[in-house]
Amino acid sequence: MRNMPFFRGAVLLAAGAVAGGLLTSAWKVPLHAQQQQTPTTQATVLTDVTHLRDITPPNSHPMVDVGYHMVNLWFAVEAKNWPLANYYLGETRNRLRWEVRLNPSPKGASGEPVDMKSTLDGIENGSFATVKDAIDKKDANAFPVAYKHLLEDCYSCHKNAGKPYLRPMVPTTPGQPIINTDPNATWPQ
């Protein structure tokens, strides 16, 4: 009877060792199997990557959405619909972030890559924040000034990305594209 606790301890130790050995061997098999990809697995991965490249939208797609939301933002504030304005500002920001994920380093006017994440970070901390503040304060007088600064920042980004012909403007009608089609336009600079 005195040996009973010792015997129980020995049995638990042996059971733990067996369980540990089984778990270790189970973990080693999948890792080993992953290291030896079959040609079929490699072909499937290449097919999947090709498919994903084929269905990824072009870089212009999020920017079309940005234009749509920026126009609606303007008219939401004009109507003093502050919750809607806040919504459109958020959607604009989301689409710009999507654009940066799709094309993080486009070639700029000089042919060198442009760090779009840093550019967007600067806009978000600058003119976006000012627009957001005007919306939060329901300040219909401060909003147009902040909005125009945001458009100027947008245009700076367009120029840095080698697309100076994409010149935004303050919309005049709902549903209007935000890009000024006038080739003689002089604003923003």
Phi, psi of 84 (to 5 degrees): -70, -40
**What would the mean pLDDT of 69-88 be, rounded to a whole number?**
94
Domains of the chain: 60-160 (1.20.120.290)
Residue at token pair 């006038």: 182
**Is the per-residue pLDDT at 8 higher than 90?**
no
**Is the per-residue pLDDT at 154 higher than 70?**
yes
Q: What is the DSSP string of 81-140?
A: -HHHHHHHHHHHHHHHHHHHHH-SS-B-TTSSB--HHHHHHHHIIIIIHHHHHHHHTT-T
pTM of the predicted protein model: 0.69
Pick the residue with more confidence: 5 or 94? 94
Phi, psi of 113 (to 5 degrees): -65, 145
Chain mean pLDDT for the chain: 84
The number of beta carbons lying within 10 Å of the beta carbon of residue 91 is: 17
**Is the per-residue pLDDT at 116 higher than 80?**
yes
